[in-house]
Chain A
Amino acid sequence: MRDNLILRVIAKALIPVILLYAFYVQFHGDFSPGGGFQAGVIFSTAILLYALVFGMDKAADVLSDRVLIALASGGVLLYAGVGVASLLLGGNYLDYNVLADDPVAGQHIGIILIELGVGMTVASTMLLIFFTFARRMVIR
Protein backbone atom coordinates (compact mmCIF):
# COMPACT_ATOMS: atom_id res chain seq x y z
CA MET A 1 0.00 0.00 0.00
CA ARG A 2 2.95 2.31 0.61
CA ASP A 3 3.69 2.95 -3.06
CA ASN A 4 0.17 3.88 -3.93
CA LEU A 5 0.60 7.58 -4.75
CA ILE A 6 -3.05 8.39 -5.44
CA LEU A 7 -4.25 6.84 -2.17
CA ARG A 8 -1.57 8.68 -0.20
CA VAL A 9 -2.37 12.08 -1.71
CA ILE A 10 -6.13 11.67 -1.33
CA ALA A 11 -5.77 10.40 2.24
CA LYS A 12 -3.53 13.34 3.15
CA ALA A 13 -6.14 15.74 1.83
CA LEU A 14 -9.06 13.94 3.47
CA ILE A 15 -7.72 13.24 6.97
CA PRO A 16 -7.61 16.86 8.23
CA VAL A 17 -11.13 17.45 6.93
CA ILE A 18 -12.44 14.32 8.65
CA LEU A 19 -10.75 15.33 11.92
CA LEU A 20 -12.17 18.83 11.71
CA TYR A 21 -15.62 17.42 11.00
CA ALA A 22 -15.31 15.11 14.01
CA PHE A 23 -14.62 18.10 16.26
CA TYR A 24 -17.51 20.00 14.68
CA VAL A 25 -19.88 17.10 15.37
CA GLN A 26 -18.50 16.83 18.90
CA PHE A 27 -18.89 20.44 19.96
CA HIS A 28 -21.86 21.39 17.80
CA GLY A 29 -23.90 18.37 18.87
CA ASP A 30 -26.20 20.55 21.01
CA PHE A 31 -27.36 22.43 17.93
CA SER A 32 -27.17 19.97 15.05
CA PRO A 33 -27.36 16.21 14.64
CA GLY A 34 -24.51 14.38 16.24
CA GLY A 35 -22.78 14.21 19.58
CA GLY A 36 -20.00 12.46 21.37
CA PHE A 37 -20.66 8.98 20.02
CA GLN A 38 -20.78 9.99 16.36
CA ALA A 39 -17.83 12.35 16.76
CA GLY A 40 -15.77 9.61 18.39
CA VAL A 41 -16.47 7.20 15.55
CA ILE A 42 -15.65 9.82 12.89
CA PHE A 43 -12.43 10.75 14.68
CA SER A 44 -11.36 7.11 14.81
CA THR A 45 -12.17 6.75 11.11
CA ALA A 46 -9.61 9.43 10.29
CA ILE A 47 -6.86 7.66 12.25
CA LEU A 48 -7.99 4.35 10.76
CA LEU A 49 -7.63 5.72 7.24
CA TYR A 50 -4.16 6.93 8.17
CA ALA A 51 -3.24 3.50 9.53
CA LEU A 52 -4.57 1.72 6.44
CA VAL A 53 -2.70 3.96 3.97
CA PHE A 54 0.53 4.77 5.80
CA GLY A 55 0.94 1.67 7.90
CA MET A 56 0.20 0.61 11.44
CA ASP A 57 3.56 1.65 12.86
CA LYS A 58 3.20 5.29 11.87
CA ALA A 59 -0.31 5.40 13.28
CA ALA A 60 0.96 3.88 16.52
CA ASP A 61 3.58 6.66 16.66
CA VAL A 62 0.76 9.22 16.72
CA LEU A 63 -1.45 7.40 19.19
CA SER A 64 0.23 4.68 21.19
CA ASP A 65 -1.70 2.02 23.07
CA ARG A 66 -0.80 3.68 26.35
CA VAL A 67 -2.38 6.98 25.24
CA LEU A 68 -5.45 5.19 23.88
CA ILE A 69 -6.01 3.24 27.09
CA ALA A 70 -5.64 6.44 29.12
CA LEU A 71 -8.14 8.23 26.85
CA ALA A 72 -10.64 5.36 26.96
CA SER A 73 -10.70 5.15 30.73
CA GLY A 74 -10.40 8.93 31.06
CA GLY A 75 -13.63 9.38 29.10
CA VAL A 76 -15.61 7.08 31.39
CA LEU A 77 -14.01 8.75 34.42
CA LEU A 78 -14.90 12.22 33.10
CA TYR A 79 -18.52 11.17 32.59
CA ALA A 80 -18.83 9.52 35.98
CA GLY A 81 -16.86 12.41 37.52
CA VAL A 82 -19.44 14.94 36.35
CA GLY A 83 -22.01 12.85 38.21
CA VAL A 84 -19.87 12.83 41.35
CA ALA A 85 -19.30 16.58 41.03
CA SER A 86 -23.04 17.22 40.90
CA LEU A 87 -23.43 14.96 43.95
CA LEU A 88 -20.81 16.98 45.84
CA LEU A 89 -22.52 20.24 44.85
CA GLY A 90 -25.71 19.04 46.49
CA GLY A 91 -27.70 17.70 43.55
CA ASN A 92 -28.62 14.22 42.39
CA TYR A 93 -26.17 12.06 40.45
CA LEU A 94 -25.76 13.55 36.92
CA ASP A 95 -28.08 16.45 37.76
CA TYR A 96 -26.31 19.24 35.86
CA ASN A 97 -28.48 22.04 37.22
CA VAL A 98 -26.22 22.49 40.24
CA LEU A 99 -22.98 22.77 38.22
CA ALA A 100 -23.42 26.53 37.76
CA ASP A 101 -25.45 29.29 39.39
CA ASP A 102 -27.88 29.28 36.49
CA PRO A 103 -29.53 25.86 35.90
CA VAL A 104 -29.43 26.23 32.09
CA ALA A 105 -25.74 27.17 32.17
CA GLY A 106 -25.15 24.17 34.41
CA GLN A 107 -26.93 21.94 31.90
CA HIS A 108 -24.68 23.32 29.15
CA ILE A 109 -21.50 22.62 31.09
CA GLY A 110 -22.68 19.14 32.05
CA ILE A 111 -23.76 18.16 28.54
CA ILE A 112 -20.54 19.41 26.91
CA LEU A 113 -18.39 17.59 29.49
CA ILE A 114 -20.18 14.27 29.28
CA GLU A 115 -20.28 14.42 25.46
CA LEU A 116 -16.53 14.95 25.56
CA GLY A 117 -16.21 11.91 27.80
CA VAL A 118 -18.32 9.84 25.40
CA GLY A 119 -16.26 11.02 22.42
CA MET A 120 -12.93 10.23 24.09
CA THR A 121 -13.99 6.74 25.13
CA VAL A 122 -15.64 5.81 21.83
CA ALA A 123 -12.80 7.11 19.62
CA SER A 124 -10.01 5.46 21.60
CA THR A 125 -11.86 2.18 22.15
CA MET A 126 -12.62 1.81 18.42
CA LEU A 127 -8.94 2.44 17.63
CA LEU A 128 -7.76 0.07 20.36
CA ILE A 129 -9.96 -2.72 19.03
CA PHE A 130 -8.81 -2.12 15.45
CA PHE A 131 -5.12 -1.91 16.37
CA THR A 132 -5.34 -5.09 18.45
CA PHE A 133 -6.99 -7.00 15.59
CA ALA A 134 -4.65 -5.58 12.97
CA ARG A 135 -1.50 -6.47 14.94
CA ARG A 136 -2.52 -10.09 15.00
CA MET A 137 -3.00 -9.91 11.26
CA VAL A 138 0.54 -8.56 10.77
CA ILE A 139 2.06 -11.24 13.00
CA ARG A 140 0.36 -14.16 11.29
Chain B
Amino acid sequence: MALTIDIFLLLFLIATAIGILRTRHLFAMAMMFGLYSLLVASLFLLMDAPDVAFTEAAVGTGIATVLMLATLAATRRSSEKPRQRFSPSALIITLSTTALLFYGTLDLPNFGDPQAPLHTEMAGRFIEQGQQDTGVPNLVTAVLASYRGFDTLGEVTVVFTAGVGVLLLLKRRRKPVVRGKSHAR
Protein backbone atom coordinates (compact mmCIF):
# COMPACT_ATOMS: atom_id res chain seq x y z
CA MET B 1 0.00 0.00 0.00
CA ALA B 2 2.72 2.43 1.04
CA LEU B 3 4.67 1.45 -2.07
CA THR B 4 1.71 2.31 -4.31
CA ILE B 5 1.35 5.72 -2.66
CA ASP B 6 5.12 6.24 -2.97
CA ILE B 7 5.04 5.47 -6.69
CA PHE B 8 2.04 7.74 -7.27
CA LEU B 9 3.64 10.62 -5.36
CA LEU B 10 6.92 10.20 -7.21
CA LEU B 11 5.12 10.13 -10.57
CA PHE B 12 3.26 13.33 -9.67
CA LEU B 13 6.59 14.81 -8.54
CA ILE B 14 8.16 14.10 -11.93
CA ALA B 15 5.10 15.44 -13.73
CA THR B 16 5.22 18.65 -11.68
CA ALA B 17 8.95 19.06 -12.33
CA ILE B 18 8.42 18.67 -16.07
CA GLY B 19 5.50 21.08 -15.88
CA ILE B 20 7.71 23.66 -14.15
CA LEU B 21 10.33 23.23 -16.84
CA ARG B 22 7.91 23.58 -19.72
CA THR B 23 5.65 26.42 -18.60
CA ARG B 24 6.66 29.98 -19.43
CA HIS B 25 3.99 31.47 -17.18
CA LEU B 26 5.76 32.61 -14.02
CA PHE B 27 2.61 32.68 -11.89
CA ALA B 28 1.84 29.07 -12.80
CA MET B 29 5.45 28.20 -12.11
CA ALA B 30 5.27 29.63 -8.58
CA MET B 31 2.09 27.67 -7.86
CA MET B 32 3.65 24.47 -9.21
CA PHE B 33 6.68 24.94 -6.98
CA GLY B 34 4.21 25.00 -4.07
CA LEU B 35 2.62 21.78 -5.32
CA TYR B 36 6.07 20.22 -5.65
CA SER B 37 6.85 21.06 -2.02
CA LEU B 38 3.54 19.60 -0.87
CA LEU B 39 4.30 16.33 -2.69
CA VAL B 40 7.78 16.21 -1.16
CA ALA B 41 6.24 16.83 2.27
CA SER B 42 3.88 13.89 1.74
CA LEU B 43 6.86 11.71 0.81
CA PHE B 44 8.69 12.77 3.99
CA LEU B 45 5.60 11.86 6.00
CA LEU B 46 5.56 8.41 4.40
CA MET B 47 9.19 8.01 5.46
CA ASP B 48 8.10 8.61 9.09
CA ALA B 49 9.74 12.04 9.27
CA PRO B 50 6.85 14.27 10.41
CA ASP B 51 9.17 17.03 11.65
CA VAL B 52 10.77 17.47 8.25
CA ALA B 53 7.42 17.11 6.48
CA PHE B 54 6.04 19.83 8.73
CA THR B 55 8.84 22.21 7.82
CA GLU B 56 8.62 21.43 4.12
CA ALA B 57 4.84 21.98 4.05
CA ALA B 58 4.98 25.24 6.02
CA VAL B 59 8.05 26.75 4.34
CA GLY B 60 7.94 25.28 0.85
CA THR B 61 4.22 25.40 0.23
CA GLY B 62 3.30 28.37 2.38
CA ILE B 63 5.96 31.03 2.83
CA ALA B 64 8.09 30.35 -0.25
CA THR B 65 5.09 30.48 -2.60
CA VAL B 66 3.85 33.75 -1.12
CA LEU B 67 7.35 35.26 -1.28
CA MET B 68 7.69 34.18 -4.90
CA LEU B 69 4.30 35.73 -5.74
CA ALA B 70 5.27 38.95 -3.94
CA THR B 71 8.51 39.05 -5.92
CA LEU B 72 6.61 38.49 -9.16
CA ALA B 73 4.28 41.35 -8.30
CA ALA B 74 7.20 43.62 -7.41
CA THR B 75 9.14 42.94 -10.58
CA ARG B 76 8.15 43.00 -14.21
CA ARG B 77 6.36 39.91 -15.36
CA SER B 78 8.21 39.05 -18.49
CA SER B 79 10.04 35.95 -19.54
CA GLU B 80 12.36 35.45 -22.43
CA LYS B 81 11.67 32.80 -24.96
CA PRO B 82 14.46 30.30 -24.54
CA ARG B 83 16.62 29.54 -27.50
CA GLN B 84 15.64 26.21 -28.93
CA ARG B 85 19.11 25.52 -30.28
CA PHE B 86 20.51 22.08 -29.57
CA SER B 87 23.91 22.28 -27.90
CA PRO B 88 26.00 19.09 -27.87
CA SER B 89 28.50 20.41 -25.31
CA ALA B 90 25.72 21.14 -22.81
CA LEU B 91 24.36 17.63 -23.31
CA ILE B 92 27.79 16.09 -22.74
CA ILE B 93 28.37 18.14 -19.56
CA THR B 94 24.93 17.22 -18.20
CA LEU B 95 25.32 13.53 -18.97
CA SER B 96 28.84 13.28 -17.53
CA THR B 97 27.81 15.13 -14.35
CA THR B 98 24.84 12.77 -13.98
CA ALA B 99 27.10 9.76 -14.49
CA LEU B 100 29.56 11.11 -11.88
CA LEU B 101 26.79 11.67 -9.35
CA PHE B 102 25.40 8.18 -9.90
CA TYR B 103 28.92 6.77 -9.56
CA GLY B 104 29.22 8.65 -6.27
CA THR B 105 26.02 7.09 -4.90
CA LEU B 106 27.51 3.57 -5.37
CA ASP B 107 29.66 4.09 -2.27
CA LEU B 108 26.71 5.16 -0.12
CA PRO B 109 25.07 2.52 2.10
CA ASN B 110 21.70 1.25 0.90
CA PHE B 111 18.58 3.12 1.97
CA GLY B 112 17.50 1.91 5.40
CA ASP B 113 20.55 -0.36 5.83
CA PRO B 114 20.84 -1.03 9.59
CA GLN B 115 24.60 -1.56 9.27
CA ALA B 116 25.21 1.92 7.82
CA PRO B 117 27.64 4.00 9.93
CA LEU B 118 24.86 6.56 10.38
CA HIS B 119 22.84 4.02 12.36
CA THR B 120 25.67 2.29 14.21
CA GLU B 121 27.59 5.29 15.55
CA MET B 122 25.71 8.28 17.00
CA ALA B 123 22.07 7.43 16.28
CA GLY B 124 22.11 4.46 18.63
CA ARG B 125 23.42 6.56 21.47
CA PHE B 126 20.81 9.27 20.84
CA ILE B 127 18.00 6.70 20.82
CA GLU B 128 19.22 4.89 23.93
CA GLN B 129 20.37 7.84 26.03
CA GLY B 130 18.28 10.71 24.64
CA GLN B 131 15.34 10.19 26.95
CA GLN B 132 17.51 10.05 30.11
CA ASP B 133 19.84 12.85 29.04
CA THR B 134 17.23 15.42 28.07
CA GLY B 135 13.88 14.15 29.34
CA VAL B 136 12.35 15.08 25.99
CA PRO B 137 10.21 12.38 24.33
CA ASN B 138 10.56 13.83 20.80
CA LEU B 139 14.05 12.71 19.80
CA VAL B 140 14.21 15.13 16.87
CA THR B 141 13.82 18.05 19.27
CA ALA B 142 16.37 16.52 21.65
CA VAL B 143 18.95 16.23 18.87
CA LEU B 144 18.22 19.60 17.27
CA ALA B 145 17.99 21.65 20.43
CA SER B 146 20.37 19.91 22.79
CA TYR B 147 22.91 17.57 21.18
CA ARG B 148 23.23 19.76 18.09
CA GLY B 149 22.38 23.06 19.76
CA PHE B 150 25.40 24.73 18.23
CA ASP B 151 24.28 23.90 14.68
CA THR B 152 20.79 25.19 15.37
CA LEU B 153 22.24 28.45 16.68
CA GLY B 154 24.03 28.73 13.35
CA GLU B 155 20.79 28.10 11.45
CA VAL B 156 18.94 30.78 13.39
CA THR B 157 21.76 33.19 12.68
CA VAL B 158 21.48 32.36 8.97
CA VAL B 159 17.75 33.15 9.01
CA PHE B 160 18.45 36.40 10.86
CA THR B 161 21.21 37.32 8.41
CA ALA B 162 18.84 36.72 5.47
CA GLY B 163 16.37 39.16 7.05
CA VAL B 164 19.08 41.74 7.64
CA GLY B 165 20.25 41.37 4.04
CA VAL B 166 16.77 41.90 2.61
CA LEU B 167 16.25 44.93 4.83
CA LEU B 168 19.57 46.48 3.85
CA LEU B 169 18.98 45.94 0.14
CA LEU B 170 15.28 46.67 -0.27
CA LYS B 171 14.06 48.86 2.58
CA ARG B 172 13.13 52.30 1.35
CA ARG B 173 14.68 55.09 3.29
CA ARG B 174 12.55 58.09 4.22
CA LYS B 175 14.56 60.44 2.05
CA PRO B 176 17.00 59.46 -0.63
CA VAL B 177 20.49 60.32 0.51
CA VAL B 178 21.98 62.85 -1.87
CA ARG B 179 25.56 63.84 -1.42
CA GLY B 180 25.58 67.60 -1.04
CA LYS B 181 27.97 69.74 -3.05
CA SER B 182 29.71 70.80 0.12
CA HIS B 183 30.87 67.21 0.55
CA ALA B 184 32.07 66.87 -3.00
CA ARG B 185 35.73 66.21 -3.23
Interface SS of chain B: helix
- Which parts of B20-78 form the interface with A (CB within 8 Å)? 50-51, 53-55, 58-59, 62-63, 66-67, 70-71, 73-74
Which A residue sits closest to B170, measured CB to CB?
A132
Residue from the list B51, B74, B135, B145 in contact with A136, Cβ < 8 A? B74
Which of A73, A93, A111, A134 lies at the interface centre, i.e. has the most chain B CB atoms within 10 A of its CB?
A111
Say which size band chain A's interface belongs to.
35 or more
Task: Report if A108 contacts B (CB, 8 A).
Answer: yes
- CB <8 Å contact, A104 and B135: yes
- CB <8 Å contact, B62 and A45: yes
Q: How many contacting A-B pairs (Cβ < 8 A)? A: 141
Say which size band chain B's interface belongs to.
35 or more
Interface 1/0 per residue, B122-139 and A, CB below 8 Å? 000000000011111110
Chain A residues whose CB sits within 8 angstroms of the CB of B74 once the complex forms: 133-134, 136-137, 140
- Whether A29 touches B138, Cβ cut-off 8 Å, given contacts A83-B153, A117-B156, is yes
Task: Report if B160 contacts A (CB, 8 A).
Answer: yes
- CB <8 Å contact, A34 and B134: no
Residue from the list A41, A118, A132 in contact with B152, Cβ < 8 A? A118
Task: Report if A53 contacts B (CB, 8 A).
Answer: no
Task: Report if A89 contacts B (CB, 8 A).
Answer: no
Using a CB–CB cutoff of 8 Å, the interface residues on chain A facing chain B are 25, 29-35, 37-38, 41-42, 44-45, 48, 52, 69, 72-73, 75-76, 79-80, 83, 93-94, 96, 103-105, 107-108, 110-111, 114-115, 117-118, 121-122, 124-126, 128-130, 132-137, 139-140
